[in-house]
Amino acid sequence: MREEMERDERVFVMGEDIGTRGGVFLATDGFLQKFGAERVIDTPLAESSIAGIALGAATSGMRPIAEMEFADFIWPVFNQIVGEAARVRYGTNGGLHVPLVLRAPYGGGVRGGLYHSQSVESFFAHVPGLKVVVPATPYDAKGLLKSAIRDDDPVVFLEHKRTYRLVRGEVPDEEYTLPIGVADVKLEGSDISVITYGLMLHHCIEAARELAKEGISVEVVDLRTLRPLDEATVLVSVRKTGKALVVHEDTRAVGIGAEVAATIAEKAFDRLDGPVTRLAGPDVPAMPFSPPLEEMFMLDSKNIADAVRTLARY
């Protein structure tokens, strides 16, 4: 963000506690000092207006980055982002467009309870006109965020809170971007394709390393973008392995897994030698607070390895 704000004067950030405090996760630490209060706006506590104001600024030639303090508080924004932003280009017949980024920390496993743990991606990924990006590594986050800021359409940019602290990775200082809508094979393998994103990527890789010792070769595909979905990368992988497991933290029914599984079933049916399988969060309304209950909700590498073993038997 810092580099993009230096590069392009139209870029500015707005959200709760992002100024003096530098954001609750310190994503904008030092921004106020560097860019001033006009481009680093501490907003009132009113999410709907954060998105609506960003939308208006975006259609007027600016490139706002609007921040939700936690994805759990994104729902008032649904109206502005799903109801409005996604439809502006289409509804004005190309007359206006909305180059805005809506950043939101999401996901659980952080003792956040019902309201600081939610996965919100499938609600937004359903919407034509929006792009939904879910980086899992620091390297991907930088490259994808730059692309999101430069994108001419609204991008919902979801950052898993647990990856902030858990995952450390090399981030080159120099300029690079990564294209939105392109998945990444994070681990090559030949027996089974595991398709995932976000925090679960790291659990999947751990599981794959464990399974390698048992002679099961797992290919791990990181979707990175949920809309547009990179069908090609998924299909190339599944055609190679013949087996697909989709893993996500979000609850199962009508989730991203359903979309990926349907795509595979439609387009790689002839190459499958096992059921396309979903492993996802349990269908309860949100992640509970108490440790045993939270653990019950969160998938880990063990659950994933078990699911791979079951599928590998076909």
Among 3, 10, 17, 267, the residue binding another protein under the rule CB under 8 A is: 17
Per CB under 8 A, contacts with another protein among 63-102 are: 72-73, 76
- Burial label for 187, CB within 10 Å (0-12, 13-18, 19+), is middle
- Tell me the C-alpha to C-alpha distance, in Å, between residue 70 and each of 29, 118, 198, 251, 303: 17, 9, 16, 18, 27
When the beta carbons of 129 and 255 are compared against another protein, the nearer one is 255
171 binds another protein (CB under 8 A): no
- Dihedral pair phi/psi, residue 279, rounded to 5°: -125, 115
| Backbone angle region of 148, left / alpha / beta, with phi > 0 → left and psi within -120 to 50 → alpha | alpha
Separation CA 17–CA 222 (nearest Å): 31
Among 73, 123, 124, 157, the residue binding ligand TPP under the rule CB under 6 A is: 73
20 binds ligand TPP (CB under 6 A): no
Among 288, 303, 309, 310, the residue binding another protein under the rule CB under 8 A is: 288
Among 4, 16, 67, 84, the residue binding ligand TPP under the rule CB under 6 A is: 16
How are beta strands 225-227 and 131-133 bridged, if at all?
antiparallel
Q: In DSSP terms, which residues pair with 63 in a beta bridge?
A: 11
Among 1, 12, 19, 81, the residue binding another protein under the rule CB under 8 A is: 19
Question: Considering only 59-67, 113-121, 134-142, 231-239, which stretch makes contact with another protein by CB under 8 A?
Answer: 113-121
Active site members: 116
Separation CA 150–CA 230 (nearest Å): 20
- What residues make contact with another protein under the rule CB under 8 A? 16-17, 19-22, 24, 42-49, 72-73, 76, 111, 113-116, 282-285, 288-293, 296
